[in-house]
Structure 1
Amino acid sequence: MQIRASVHRDFTIAVIDDRLYSAFIEHMGRAIYSGIHEPDHPEADERGFRRDVMSLVRDLHIPTIRYPGGNFVSAYRWEDGVGPSEQRPVRLDLAWRTRETNQVGINEFGAWAESAGIDMMLAVNLGSRGLEEARNFVEYVNHPGGTWWSDLRRSHGVENPWNVNLWCLGNEMDGPWQIGHKEAKEYGRLADETAKALRGLTPTAEFVVCGSSHDHMPSYPDWEREVLEQCYDNVDYISLHKYFGNRSGDTLDYFATIEETGRYIQTIAGVIDYVKAKKRSARDVYICFDEWNVWYHNRDEDDRRVAQWDWPEAPALLEETYNFEDALLVAGLINEFIRRSDRVRIACIAQLVNVIAPIRAERGGPAWRQTIYWPFQFASRYGRGRALRVAVDGPTYNAPNASDVQYLDIAAVHNPAEGALTFFIINRHLTEPASLDLDLHGFDGARLDMHHSMSGHDPKASNGPDRPDHIVPVPGNGLGVEDNRLRGELAPLSWHTVRLGV
């Protein structure tokens, strides 16, 4: 399979926002309790957080994390999670039919995020609550002192404010499953008034308004239009959510769902442009793709379990075991976000630990990296800089989800400050290697500095506590730079990070 491609140093898509490599964690299943927080674990620190999990989180170089939900936030009382831990109430979580002990709240999670070097992106409850509770929450979190809510925080042992600048105005408010579900105009008005009030407390704050829960919702994309017509001038981002799965067993069709994602982003970008023009606005609103991942292996069984169980505390839920095929899908999604980084400024892999997550942790046992950890980690480490357009000329295929899908998927990022040009490459072909000839326009004297790859694995193979390093990136071979061209052969069903010094 012959592939010709070219990249030019001046053909820039956008400067990538570092927050494209962010994450999401929710009070759900074992994401918090026995995920990041397990006081009785041998690896627990003085606050009860697992050091082994923290080490894996730090290695992802995540800039921002969305918290505390998710569906959970739409009935959440943030006040339940502050103050003396022994006085905190146990509540029923209506989203996942579980009991919430509130032993981890905003201050505990803030300390964890600070230790991990991650900024918080907090969600306010606009489902069962509203503007007043959101205003109080922001004052508690961000105001230095001298007021009721800020002094209450200080009395809880947190002298300095958390200074959170990114706020989600609810979660999936288009979804009938959501506690406090609203119609588009109703929600848009509430989001508009809430954003105005919260900006009065934190003038530099950025606000994310809820877009469609996914691109197959009956109200999509009219929901986005109606919501933005109400709040365009007071919000900065609109959220998109999408989960992926190979339910048909067709690997190539599974990979083709990445094309759906591109159409999703393009459609909402068009809606944003329409509303901007209609309002004669000078402001730009961008996309925050704040929930995305593979979620299908156990989804039906989990739905049955949730419907039957009797309010357990931190049960195992949505604990997907990811395989090599899933890792290639995640790598392709990240490539699509890079290519769309002129419109997608923030993206959050959902979630971070145990619940549909790149990191798994057994209660009382080990923690390990799942297969999807690696393409995310390499992109987060080496995908900062300017996204460049890549022209690819090679064989394509048709699938039920999309037509004319490239077998070879390439994204490119130029970091002038580091003198580096990085390519993230996936050969989707099931059996054929790809012979690549990539012309490097404007990068005279380029040299190969690094090549890591994952290939040769059964698509259904995975990592686990008994073999945590079964699928990991290894030094690649077969690629080189000559005559200002990156050339070589890429194995079938393979992923590569190739870093050139330029």
Structure 2
Amino acid sequence: MAQQITKAKMALDKEFVISEIDPRLYGSFIEHLGRAVYGGVYEPGHPTADEHGFRQDVIDLVKELQVPIVRYPGGNMVSAYNWEDGVGPKENRPRRLELAWRVIETNQVGTNEFMDWAKKANTEVMMAVNLGTRGIDAARNLLEYCNHPGGTYWSDLRKEHGYKDPHNIKTWCLGNEMDGPWQVGQKTAHEYGRLAAETAKAMRLVDPSIELVSCGSSNSDMPTFPEWEATTLDHTYDYVDFISLHQYYGNRSNDTANYLAKSMDMENFIQTVISTCDYIKAKKRSKKTINLSFDEWNVWFHSNQQDKEIEPWSIAPPQLEDVYTFEDALLVGSLLNAMLRHADRVKMAAMAQLVNVIAPIMTETGGGVWKQSIFYPYYYTSVYGRGVALNPVVTSPKYDSKDFTDVPYLDSSVVYNEEKEELVIFATNRHLENTLSVDIDIRSFEGFEVVEHVVLENEDAKAINTLQNEQVKPHNKGESYNDGGKLVGILPKFSWNMIRLKKTKNK
């Protein structure tokens, strides 16, 4: 039976610029958690492992995603992590009780190994320092070890460990989720703000070129949100460049229409944090603008029950191994849209995480690797979402759900790459029954023609991918066409789409 058609409109103009997109918006995250490191990026003896034990099949997929930056080593684990345990000869490295996830950390991968991996994967590193059990001293020493050229104790120790040249890590997180009662070394807002400010000052003395990220609230449901941001920024505002946001979503009530609207929650979170940053800017009469690092975001709920059954103090057990559905991929596409619509302030982000742990990439120990459903919107947006974000004027019919009112059926973001003469529209059709026909005014993009319309669609909201069977994958048979100065985008029901246009040479 033919789908019924719902109509929407969009107007685009080259002048409707939100901002240049910082490529780091498409970052990710690898924590010493579950099989993210051991059995994920690092598996000596695997058929594809290189001489350092890194899985080449995983590196290939990370390179395919064009991940520009990866946050490391945590996450919750960083709040009780002694970085010195992970450097030097591997046979001398201690095994430790890792308190965040209650496992044994073997420390066979540490700072230097991860920097080696990052080079192979064509990515930068966003390094986190421990402000839970430690503070200024450990942070400045780690920075000296990583970035100072030589002639000092810590920089010479790096050389002794086989790394003559400094790592030159430019982006540093001042702790992780320090407001959380689950965090080792939880702080009040004033305690954290003071410690983060003094740590930032010391780190900048070691290397003035670094960028620093202050901890925001662990999520927008924290009882102290957004007072935490206001109080901590009162201390850190002059010394940091970013504040972090963390948020995870899930369809616990099995209400798909409500679930697909949750990107509106992310948007509200972003807007609230921007407002709070700008309040402190006004309060301090500052000329400086603090930007946002959304350095943990994803869907996370599928594995919650099985994670409770893991035996404590095992080594790299399968933790947080969510198996993602088709509807999860649609929400991920819309979460990326929400960040792109705020590209003027969201300059960095990290899909948490990259391999095996709530991840787009999954591996079998000793075996193959495969792409989860969420891989695809992340891949297309990362690869084709480079340039400037445009602000589309959208007219869309709306619906109400359990938690949200006035949810547009059409959720979109638009990117213009002037250098490539390319215009890219990312669009989710949230309508569960109807095709969305979108009239798109592209008069300011004269001579631009559709070169590709990728569609991610599936009749089964709960369809998943496994190593043996990929049920959720895109096709490029989307129906979009030019009609004079208008582009007509046909978005199938319950689908994620990328419509890519290029300027034709003969016009």
Query: TM-score, normalised on structure 1?
Result: 0.98
Counterparts of 2:207 and 2:459 in 1: how far apart (Å)? 50
Deviation at 1:494, TM superposition (A): 1.0
After superposition, residues 209-248 of structure 1 pair within 5 angstroms as: 209-248=214-253
- 1:11/1:389 contact within 8 Å kept: yes
Deviation at 1:310, TM superposition (A): 3.0
1:440 to 442, 456, 466: 442
Is 1:481 paired with 2:482? yes
1:357 to 356, 359, 368: 359
Residue-by-residue CA offset, 1:204-230 (whole Å, 9 max, x unaligned): 110000000000001000000000001
Aligned to 1:410: 412
Counterparts of 2:371 and 2:314 in 1: how far apart (Å)? 27
Is 1:131 paired with 2:136? yes
Aligned to 1:422: 424
Counterparts of 2:337 and 2:245 in 1: how far apart (Å)? 17
Aligned to 1:345: 347
Q: Which amino acid aligns with 2:403?
A: N
Q: Which amino acid aligns with 1:288?
A: S
Aligned to 2:3: none
Counterparts of 2:486 and 2:253 in 1: how far apart (Å)? 39
Q: Which amino acid aligns with 2:362?
A: R
Aligned to 1:288: 293
Deviation at 1:53, TM superposition (A): 0.8
After superposition, residues 76-475 of structure 1 pair within 5 angstroms as: 76-302=81-307, 304-306=308-310, 309-467=311-469, 469-475=470-476
Counterparts of 1:191 and 1:457 in 2: how far apart (Å)? 49
Deviation at 1:399, TM superposition (A): 1.4
Counterparts of 2:421 and 2:210 in 1: how far apart (Å)? 33
- 1:67/1:121 contact within 8 Å kept: yes
Deviation at 1:481, TM superposition (A): 1.4
Deviation at 1:255, TM superposition (A): 1.1
Counterparts of 1:63 and 1:459 in 2: how far apart (Å)? 31
**Which SS does the other structure have where 2:117 is aligned?**
helix
Counterparts of 2:447 and 2:453 in 1: how far apart (Å)? 17
Aligned to 2:19: 14
Residue-by-residue CA offset, 1:469-499 (whole Å, 9 max, x unaligned): 3322211232111212111422101111111
Deviation at 1:466, TM superposition (A): 0.8
**Which SS does the other structure have where 1:322 is aligned?**
coil
Question: Which segments of structure 1 move beyond 3 Å, counting only runs of 4 or more?
Answer: none
Counterparts of 2:93 and 2:27 in 1: how far apart (Å)? 30
Identity over the aligned pairs, expressed in percent? 51
| Structure 2 gap segments, 5+ residues each | 1-5
Residue-by-residue CA offset, 1:358-400 (whole Å, 9 max, x unaligned): 0000111111010100100100100011111112212101112
- 2:458/2:472 contact within 8 Å kept: no
Aligned to 1:34: 39
Aligned to 2:502: 501
Counterparts of 1:348 and 1:37 in 2: how far apart (Å)? 20
- 1:238/1:287 contact within 8 Å kept: yes
Counterparts of 1:110 and 1:2 in 2: how far apart (Å)? 50
- 1:141/1:153 contact within 8 Å kept: yes
Counterparts of 1:375 and 1:447 in 2: how far apart (Å)? 22
Counterparts of 1:293 and 1:134 in 2: how far apart (Å)? 28
- 1:60/1:381 contact within 8 Å kept: yes
Counterparts of 1:177 and 1:73 in 2: how far apart (Å)? 13
Deviation at 1:121, TM superposition (A): 0.5
Counterparts of 1:42 and 1:94 in 2: how far apart (Å)? 32
- 2:226/2:273 contact within 8 Å kept: yes
- 2:453/2:479 contact within 8 Å kept: no
**Which SS does the other structure have where 1:10 is aligned?**
coil
- 2:125/2:169 contact within 8 Å kept: yes
Residue-by-residue CA offset, 1:239-272 (whole Å, 9 max, x unaligned): 0000000001110100111111111110110000
- 1:210/1:239 contact within 8 Å kept: yes
Aligned to 1:61: 66
- 2:440/2:489 contact within 8 Å kept: no
Deviation at 1:401, TM superposition (A): 2.3
195-204 or 327-336, which deviates more: 195-204
Deviation at 1:436, TM superposition (A): 1.5
Deviation at 1:448, TM superposition (A): 0.9
- 2:28/2:70 contact within 8 Å kept: yes
Deviation at 1:462, TM superposition (A): 0.7
Query: TM-score, normalised on structure 2?
Result: 0.97
Counterparts of 1:488 and 1:293 in 2: how far apart (Å)? 28
Deviation at 1:450, TM superposition (A): 1.6
**Which SS does the other structure have where 1:399 is aligned?**
coil
Counterparts of 1:157 and 1:200 in 2: how far apart (Å)? 26
**Which SS does the other structure have where 2:339 is aligned?**
helix
- 1:324/1:457 contact within 8 Å kept: no
Residue-by-residue CA offset, 1:422-455 (whole Å, 9 max, x unaligned): 0001111111111111111411111112211111
Counterparts of 1:201 and 1:410 in 2: how far apart (Å)? 43
- 1:338/1:411 contact within 8 Å kept: yes
Deviation at 1:43, TM superposition (A): 1.1
Counterparts of 1:138 and 1:76 in 2: how far apart (Å)? 15
Alignment length (residue pairs): 498
| Structure 1 gap segments, 5+ residues each | none
- 1:422/1:497 contact within 8 Å kept: yes
